């Protein structure tokens, strides 16, 4: 069921992901789909866990900051491999094996740098949410910002935003990702 759901997601997007579409993909009845997955919420949890599970947590290299950045980079790539992947992950909070293993590994990497428990836990959340938000923007990049924004953000009305507008609107998501992760990790001292 989950594999069929990914076929629908990757082909048609989250808006078209339904039990009916999955049933059509599998050539079974909707009741069969519902019997196996229970609810759409449960299906999304399973899909989110599968996406997070694609973020390989082994063979990280370098110091703890570099290893944390690599791990988050792998999560970013896992979400980008699926159309609307970040939306699927954002809409859930699965306490499932792959998601828990990812969180455990991220906290372990942070703690290996001497980060205390509370800052490690809260920084793990900050890193995860930053990655999730940036990937959501990246996946909807063509229509993420109004096309007329440069006309609205005038020097007179918004002088500070106007001064940085080119960088603010940068579509270099890889560079923005590396910068943001670096800033968050640097906050740990």
What is the C-alpha to C-alpha distance for residues 47 and 86, in angstroms, rounded to an integer?
11
pLDDT at 145: 64
Asked if residue 93 lies in contact with residue 87, where contact means CB atoms within 8 angstroms, the answer is: no
pLDDT at 40: 86
Average pLDDT in the 90-103 region?
92
What is the C-alpha to C-alpha distance for residues 113 and 116, in angstroms, rounded to an integer?
9
What's the pLDDT tens digit per position in 113-138?
A: 999 999 999 999 999 999 999 999 99
Q: How far is C-alpha 164 from the geometric centre of its chain's CA atoms? A: 26
Asked if residue 177 lies in contact with residue 131, where contact means CB atoms within 8 angstroms, the answer is: yes
CATH topology of domain 39-186: Tetracycline Repressor; domain 2 (1.10.357)
Terminal Cα-to-Cα distance of the chain (whole angstroms):
45
What's the pLDDT tens digit per position in 14-50?
A: 999 998 999 999 999 988 988 988 888 899 999 999 9
pLDDT at 139: 92
By the 10 Å C-beta count (0-12 exposed, 13-18 middle, 19+ buried), 154 is classed as exposed
What is the C-alpha to C-alpha distance for residues 164 and 153, in angstroms, rounded to an integer?
10
Asked if residue 55 lies in contact with residue 74, where contact means CB atoms within 8 angstroms, the answer is: yes
Q: How many CB atoms lie within 10 A of CB 4?
A: 18
| Low-confidence winner among 32-46, 75-89, 139-153 (lowest mean pLDDT) | 139-153
pLDDT at 110: 98
């Amino acid at each position: 069921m989950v594999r069929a759901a990914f076929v629908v997601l990757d082909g048609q997007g989250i808006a078209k992901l339904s039990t009916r579409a999955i049933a059509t993909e599998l050539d079974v009845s909707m009741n069969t789909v519902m019997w196996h997955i229970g609810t759409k919420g449960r299906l999304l949890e399973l899909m989110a866990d599968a996406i997070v599970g694609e973020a390989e947590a082994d063979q990280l290299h370098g110091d703890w900051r570099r290893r944390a950045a690599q791990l988050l980079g792998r999560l970013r790539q896992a979400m980008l491999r699926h159309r609307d992947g970040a939306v699927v992950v954002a809409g859930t909070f699965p306490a499932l094996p792959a998601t828990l293993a990812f969180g455990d590994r991220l906290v372990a990497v942070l703690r290996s740098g001497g980060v205390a428990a509370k800052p490690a836990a809260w920084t793990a959340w900050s890193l995860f949410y930053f990655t999730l938000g940036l990937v959501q923007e990246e996946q909807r990049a063509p229509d993420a910002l109004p096309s007329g924004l440069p006309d609205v953000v005038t020097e007179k009305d918004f002088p500070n935003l106007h001064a940085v507008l080119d960088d603010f609107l940068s579509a270099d998501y890889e560079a923005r990702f590396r910068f943001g992760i670096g800033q968050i990790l640097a906050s740990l001292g």
